[in-house]
Amino acid sequence: MSRLLTEKEKLLAGFLLTKNASMGDDFIEMAFFQIKEGVVDELGNSFLLSFRNENCNFIDVGRLPVELIASDGGVPILIYATVAVKPDGSEVLDTFVMDKMDGTSISAYPDQVDEMMVVCEGRRIGGADLREIYRVD
């Protein structure tokens, strides 16, 4: 199903982007535009979203370095986005993902950012301390 992001999704994706500001101003500006105006496709469920990037032949796709961890009934939810690199070297958002780590459906949408842990390369760098449910260095 193709659609715009919901307000909750925009807020959460925007919060994730602010934590990845080191990606550079051009990318962050484009990514915020994609969040505000871009069309996404649900890939199987509403927690795996692919941004429509028309006429793009990507040369590389990778995850943003900073990710968020939320809790749903004591089970961690990994929240991250992937970035695609176009042949001209510019980057665009490719996917926005919320993955409950036990494989079950998310029962409570993770929207309390002050209750999320901020993780970069396997290390907690801020936010709530959820190390009892998600192991980091």
Assign 3-state DSSP to the chain and report helix, strand, coil percentages, each to 5: 25, 40, 40
pLDDT digits (tens, 9 = 90+) for 41-92: 999 889 999 998 876 778 888 999 999 999 999 999 999 999 998 888 888 9
Q: Does residue 117 contact residue 110 with C-beta atoms inside 8 Å?
A: no
pLDDT digits (tens, 9 = 90+) for 85-106: 888 888 899 999 999 999 999 9
In terms of pTM, does the model score above 0.85? Answer: yes
